[in-house]
Amino acid sequence: MIRVHIADDSPIIRSSLARALGEFSDTTIVSGASANGARAMEWLGRYYADLLITDVRMPLMDGLELIHAVKKHYPWMSSFVVSSYDDFSYAKASIQLEAVDYLLKPIDPELLERALTAAIDKIYGERQKKAAQLLLRQLPLNRDMLDRWVQHIQLQRVETMPILIVDTLDMLGSWVGDSYYLLNSLSNLWLETVIHELQKNQVTIKLDEGRDLGLGDSLLERSRIRSYFRLCTVRRLEEGSHVLLKEMNHIRDPLTIRMVDMIHTYVEAHYKDKISLQELADQVEMSKNYMCTKFKEDTGMTIHNYVIDVRMRKARELLLATTLKSYEIAHRVGYDNVIYFSQSFKKTYGLSPMDYKKRMEQ
């Protein structure tokens, strides 16, 4: 998810740019807009952004001064210029400040899309390069973690996968320091490394880049940057591990695929309710015993444990994204007994809900 901030003293330009950017890509979000460079810097002091689109001539602080300040204080950001002035000196200065492009108003939609694509490619490319350097430097010192992943996938250790993922998150987090924006690229590279190790077992699969899956609002406060990127990383490692576990399991039967997908869909929609095995069996039109056997064979876990897994994932998201108390979260994910909820959470993630939240936000 690329968050964009627009700086332009024209309200019409700000709104038209925001509308145009939303049409190009569903992974590009306009997080905010400012009337001048000074306001933009004030905004960036409170919120996170990946990309700056700025006019050149603005009151209080012009676009070139703004790009220079952003480059100094927020070096992970990329930028490009939209301007009414066809002035070579402005264009040259913006390029010297490593702006991706210099577009003239009125803005050609095709040129805007091209500039946006170039800026996003630059952002991803730089992060991929930095993440790869970290992995090459750190992997020899953390070979045991890679071996643990290979063993978990090969031996179908579904039950302890959540704890392994949290341990992996802490490891990757220690590599990036406060450059939390690198975690997504790094987690993708980690999964690719695991796949490379599994190739001897004929696992040939390419994972997509992953997304934050609706975890982030358009406005991401700077105080939440660490917990947000860590939660995105956990989700990325989880979805990658699920794919690898299925691939290692066996070539799946089409009828079993349909049954498992139907159960997944039903549980995701009804995890707050009391779900009986007979209720699920009626949904998939199978006998209860046969359904349970095939589900365990295909996923490596029982239906009961899968329901708990879904509830715990939902609970974790509420825990990290809200200020709800443990008992409130317990009720929202289908538990009447908060003690049993806390025990289930600790069994899944190795920590009580509050201890887990503290560990993620440290």
pLDDT of residue 205: 60
SS3 82: strand
Question: Per the CATH hierarchy, to which homologous superfamily does domain 2-107 belong?
Answer: Response regulator (3.40.50.2300)
Report, as an integer, the average pLDDT of 214-238. 84
- Which pTM value belongs to this model? 0.70
pLDDT in tens, 293-343: 988 877 778 899 899 989 998 999 899 888 899 999 999 999 999 999 999
Peptide bond connecting 140 to the previous residue in cis, omega within 30 degrees of 0? no
pLDDT at res. 200 = 64
pLDDT at 100 (0 to 100): 85
Contacts (Cβ under 8 Å, ≥6 apart) of 291 = 259, 263, 277, 280, 281, 284, 303
pLDDT at 1: 79
pLDDT tens digits, one per residue of 231-247: 999 999 999 998 888 77
pLDDT tens, position by position, 80-132 = 988 887 777 778 888 887 888 888 888 888 998 999 999 999 999 999 999 99
Residue 83 has what DSSP assignment? Answer: E
The ranges assigned to domains in the chain are: 2-107, 126-249, 254-361
Choosing among 2.40.50.140, 1.10.150.120, 1.10.10.60, 3.40.50.300, the CATH entry for 254-361 is 1.10.10.60
Alpha helices for the chain (secondary structure H)? 11-24, 37-44, 63-73, 88-96, 109-138, 143-154, 161-176, 183-198, 225-249, 254-270, 277-284, 288-299, 303-321, 326-332, 338-349, 353-361
- With 0-12 / 13-18 / 19 or more C-beta atoms within 10 angstroms meaning exposed / middle / buried, residue 308 is buried
For range 219-230, the mean pLDDT: 90
Q: What is the mean pLDDT of the chain?
A: 87
Residue 360 pLDDT level (bands cut at 50, 70, 90): confident
Beta bridge partners of 52: 5, 79
